[in-house]
Amino acid sequence: MRGRLLVRKVLWSVVTVMVVITFNFFLFRVLPGDPAKAGVRDPRLSPAAVEAARIRFGLDKPVFLNTEGGSLFDSQYFHYLQALSEGDLGTSYAFNNRAVTSLIGNALRNTVWLVLPAQILSIGAGVALGLWAAYRRGTKIDVGALTFSLFMWALPTFFLGILLLFFGSRYLGFPSAGRVTIGANYANAFEQFWDIARHLFLPTLTFTLVLLGEYMLVMRSSVVEVFGEDYIQTAKAKGLSVFEIIRKHAFRNAMLPIVTLIALNLGFTVSGAIQVETVFSWPGLGKLTVDAVSQRDYPVLQGAFLLLAISVIAANLVAELLYLRLDPRVTEV
Amino acid sequence: MGFLRPPGQARAVNVGWGDLPIEVGSPFPGAERKLTVNRHRQRLVLRAGLVVIALLAAACGPGSTETTTSGGTTQTSGTPSTGGTVRIGYAGAPADLNPGIGVLVEDYIMYNLIYDSLLDTDLEGNFQPEVATAWTPSDDGLTWTLTIRDDITFHDGEPLTVDDVVYSMALYRDTEAFLLLGDYLAPWVDDPETPQVPEITAVDATTIRMTAEYPVAAFEYRMPGMYVLPQHIWEAVDDVVTFTNDEMIGSGPFVLAEYSQGEFVRLESNTDYWEGSPKVDEVIFQTVDNADARVQALINGELDAITEFPATAIPALRDAANVEVVDGLEFGGRLADIIFNMIDPADCPPEDGVCSGHPALRDVQVRRALAHAVDKQQLIDSLLLGLGEPGLGLVPPALGDWFAEELIPSDYAFDLEAAAVMLEEAGYVDTDGDGIRECPTADCGPTGDLTFRLNYPTDNDEHPRVSDTLSGWWGDIGVAVQIQGLDSDALTAVCCPGFDFDVILWSWTSDPDPEGLLSVLSCDAIPTGFSETGYCNPTYDELYNQQTVETDRAARREIIVEMQRMALEDVPYIIPWYYPKIQAYRTDTFTGWLVDSPIIALEDPSSLTVIQAAG
């Protein structure tokens, strides 16, 4: 039964991804603006060149169905599907004829280096803080932790980033921008790692602080709810220490909503931390997407959104399956 | 509820899961099967997962889309540079290494440093010899003869010859998909309807002859864009349009060493450069998107210069130690403009034209009244901290004497009363008492009164505040505005050639010659999308055609001034200000920055080839 369930779930996920791809494809082409001009307003721009660019990008073909003779499927949409089936995400309109796959691949790698440590840290710190605040519910510690988390969650990412950038670079010597010290020669791998880590510190810190509020609040309320259960009372009566009660009973049960949250948030990892990446000039997927939007770079946008769709849908699937496994009350999702 | 710890209670028996098949009281039905889960195995899986992650992390650290080239032989001979790496920060990043298809400012910064072109513009706005040492026209202006240097080598050691020059120009002219540079060679494009055939040929090893279709009055400004490409590399390329040109072999003062997409460009000095090696070792252009981060990086000493930042950062920069702010003009000049949609319905482009402009804007009295209701100096003081010049016409002061200085007294002074009187006398009276005037004619737009749509591009810092200020002044004279910011592309879609707007706030940057910008007021520009106003005046067009072929500079200036006078009278545009070029640099790392000239461009080869490490 489990196997069939899994297969059905995966199939539905694939269908969802296909719907998202199609929707995105047409959505971009509904937007005003001409990618062949890439936002260039210049009297020197020759109309013949714009037309040639349009043909090069395949934009002269009809969008969905070709009713003008020749094959019905000689249209932008079906060409796109065919290329996709061959693993070809196309060539960027704006970035020097580079393959979208390599552009997104590099940006993705940079984004993961930024977002994954931040997610892990924020989960760890948020969960720990939430647990502590729930244990000390009603005390000053609880109020302090709550205020801190709500404040961090409400604070605009951009603003926090700028603040940390200012103090970090001015007084603590962290770099203001970029991924590495340009043109540096490293004596060994550790030096390179250290250089990247220095550049990663402030953006990761920003991202961690912004995310931790969410985990803290959910964890706290979840733990408070679990503490109210009878079996905790029983465990206490049996003489288990507080630490053991938390470790063996409260924690696992309270983690269920957190697990779902983690899975979903990780899915959104690949959308990049747009604001953080822009403030710290970190060349990740968020920055790539923003640049592509302003230049109407459809192939890059389609590739990035496809990646995001697959990531989110896969993460959602994993969350559902995890829940099945972790929560014995649930027999079918 | 709190935790009540039974006093003095010893630790109870460990009844945790996993080791003993004992049911612990749990409200979860069906929990029994969980008890035999082997925690040991769980831990193992977790540890294995962590190891895998660590291995993956070690294998693929954050990386870049990089093109690394060594740039050929540069260290063998020539004056050794005294060293240092200059770091310059800007907002964007180059997207195309191929001069034929590049359109961004950052692309051209690189081309200017890596390639030589036929002529160079200096920081006074004059044209200097570069690859061409002399250029003379024939008496009829049809033929220009250029003398080419013979002592230049490309970065890969090959000599630069007249053949490379001819090849490059022919490539720009004939490759249809090349975006911008071909336009400079428009006079040398063959018109099949005329008997003469233009040509660009090498006469001998040091001479090139360029014969055009018609007499070329404005010759020099076309030449700085003629980057000389190495023929031996480019003719071997399959398709020059999709050629990524990762190596960028040129002959300029700098060699491309490393290019990381969206992050930085690293250039090394060409120690064999024919004009003498630059005195620094390297120049790095770093992309720092966020303006505050860029300013901060300069103040911290991480950057040596920044090429752009908002005027609001000036006080912080002036306060910082060892940082200087310079302001001046831009190459070609940049201006802000207020665009009126005054297209006559008869001129509306048949295919793309919507032409929904308010009919009152076709009345020149309305436009003149609105021009009187703009306080240019006030806008400059509040938005640009007093830097920048009050606007006049489409030709900015950065273009030297093409700017019609003598027309300044004829500009519309800020006078709300005079504006109101003008509207009254033209018949625009507020008949229903709502503070907004109605028209004397029946057709007064969709709202039946003087309510105009006002659009601006959202990527501009000043325009939102300008529109708010304008709505105040224009409201005082009985004209209402509906403000809406639009994305640049959306704005282009409503502007031209659709003409689906009333008033737009935007900006232009000019070439060193006024020809390009003055063409946007011609009737021919309406269907191509470069006319924003729909202005169509046969006399203006006639003058424009005359100045294209007028080789006598003084006579040409007269024609151009007359064109600007017409534009001032007819007010298709209001030009509120000419932007200042504001840049900043550190004084303690490198000396010799060229900051005393009218035009400011710290990223230009003129500066980068002469600065040297301080101390």
- A292 pLDDT more than 50: yes
Q: Record the tokens describing residue B357, joined without a space.
A: 């402009």
Average pLDDT over residues A268-285: 85
What is the least distance, in Å, from the CA of B24 to any CA of chain A?
9
pLDDT of residue A333: 55
Coil/strand/helix, residue B159: strand
Is pLDDT above 50 for B345?
yes
> Does pLDDT of A218 surpass 50?
yes
For residue B531, the distance in angstroms to the closest alpha carbon of chain A comes to 9
A143-147, B215-219, B285-289, B560-564: segment of lowest average pLDDT: B215-219
In this prediction, residue B37 has a pLDDT band, given cuts at 50, 70 and 90, of very low
What is the Cα–Cα distance from A304 to A286, expressed in whole angstroms?
Answer: 9
Q: What is the mean pLDDT of residues B595-604?
A: 91
pLDDT band at A2 (very low <50, low <70, confident <90, very high): low
User: What share of chain A has pLDDT > 70, as a percent?
Assistant: 95
Report pLDDT for B70.
41
Q: Give the chain B residue nearest A240 (alpha carbons).
A: B12
- Contact (CB<8Å) A39/B488: yes
Nearest-CA residue of chain A relative to B246? A96
**Please, which residues bridge with residue B200 across strands?**
B210
Predicted confidence band of residue A203 (pLDDT cuts 50, 70, 90): very high
Per-residue pLDDT tens digits for B84-116: 999 999 998 898 899 998 888 899 999 999 999
- Say whether pLDDT at B9 is over 80: no
For residue range B210-225, list pLDDT tens digits in order: 999 988 888 999 999 9
- pLDDT value at residue B557: 93
- What chain B residue is nearest to A52 in terms of C-alpha separation? B177
Q: Tell me whether residues A110 and B258 touch, CB distance under 8 A.
A: no
Contact assignment for A183 to B266 by CB distance below 8 Å? yes
Q: Work out the average pLDDT over B496-520.
A: 89
Does the beta-carbon distance from A49 to B179 stay under 8 Å? yes
Cβ-based contacts of B103 with chain A (< 8 Å): 38, 40, 42, 45
Contacts of B34 in chain A (CB under 8 A): 328
Determine the distance in angstroms separating the CA of B428 from the nearest CA of chain A, rounded to an integer.
35
What are the pLDDT digits (tens) for B307-321?
A: 999 888 999 999 999
pLDDT reading at B537 higher than 90: yes
- Among B17, B244, B300, whose Cβ lies nearest the Cβ of A176? B300
- Note the pLDDT of residue B55: 52
Q: Verify whether the Cβ–Cβ distance A32 to B493 is below 8 Å.
A: yes
Q: How far is CA A203 from the centre of its chain?
A: 15
Q: Tens of pLDDT along A122-134?
A: 999 999 999 889 8
Of A49, A94, A196, the CB nearest to B178: A49
- Confidence check: pLDDT of B7 > 50: no
Distances from the Cα of B253 to the Cαs of B81, B181, B279, B281, B475, in angstroms?
A: 12, 21, 10, 11, 55
Query: Which chain A residues are within 8 Å of B15, Cβ to Cβ?
Result: 238
Q: Chain A residues with CB inside 8 Å of B63's CB? A: 106, 109-110
Residue B32 pLDDT? 38
Per-residue confidence at B34, pLDDT binned at 50, 70, 90?
very low
CA distance A175 to B527: 50
Question: Chain A contacts of B489, Cβ < 8 Å?
Answer: 31-34, 39, 296
Band of residue A26 on the pLDDT scale cut at 50, 70, 90: confident
For B269-283, the pLDDT digits (tens) are: 999 999 999 999 999
The average pLDDT across B195-205 equals 92
Complex-level ipTM? 0.86
Q: What is the pLDDT of residue B62?
A: 57
Q: What is the mean pLDDT of residues B164-184?
A: 91
Helices (H), B142-219: 162-174
Residues of A in contact with B289 (CB under 8 A): 278-279, 281, 287
User: Omega before B497 cis (within 30°)?
Assistant: yes
- Shortest CA gap A109–chain B (Å): 6
Average pLDDT over residues B128-135: 94
Strand-strand pairing, B503-509 and B334-340: antiparallel
Mean pLDDT of A256-277: 82
Q: Which of A96, A227, A279 sits opposite B244 (nearest CB)?
A: A96
**What percentage of chain B exceeds 70 in pLDDT?**
87
Cβ-Cβ contacts under 8 Å, A294 against chain B:
459, 487-488
Q: If you average pLDDT over residues A245-251, what whole number do you get?
A: 83
pLDDT at B56: 53
Question: In a mutagenesis test of the B interface, which of A30, A37, A41, A115 is the best target, namely the one with the most B β-carbons within 10 Å?
Answer: A41
The C-alpha of A210 sits at a distance from chain B's nearest C-alpha, in angstroms, of: 19
Contact B95 A329 (CB under 8 A): no
Q: What is the pLDDT of residue A245?
A: 85
Q: Report chain B's mean pLDDT, rounded to a whole number.
A: 85
Q: What is the DSSP string of B39-88?
A: HHHHHHHHHHHHHHHHHHHHHS-S---EEE---SS-SSSSPPP---EEEE
Looking at residue B71, what is its pLDDT? 38
Which one has a higher pLDDT value, B176 or B467? B467
B263, B303, B495, best to mutate vs chain A, most A CBs in 10 Å: B263
Helices (H), chain A: 2-30, 47-56, 76-85, 100-135, 140-154, 157-171, 189-227, 230-238, 242-245, 251-267, 274-279, 285-294, 298-326
According to the model, what pLDDT value does residue B52 have?
A: 55
Chain A contact set for B395 (CB, 8 A): none
Q: How confident is the model at residue B578 (pLDDT cuts 50, 70, 90)?
A: very high
Contact B336, B387 (CB under 8 A): no
Instruction: For A28-84, write each residue's pLDDT tens digit.
Output: 887 776 777 765 667 677 778 888 888 888 888 888 777 776 777 788 888 888 888
Cβ <8 Å between B64 and A44: no
Residues of chain B with Cβ-Cβ distance to A33 below 8 Å are 487-490, 492-493
Closest partner residue to A182 (CB to CB) among B26, B284, B517 is B284
Min Cα distance B444 → chain A (Å) is 29
Give the pLDDT score at B119: 94
Per-range mean pLDDT, top range of A111-125, B155-169, B340-354, B425-439? B155-169
Position B488 scores a pLDDT of: 80
DSSP string, B494-530: HHTTT---SEEEEEEE--SSTHHHHGGGSTTHHHHT-
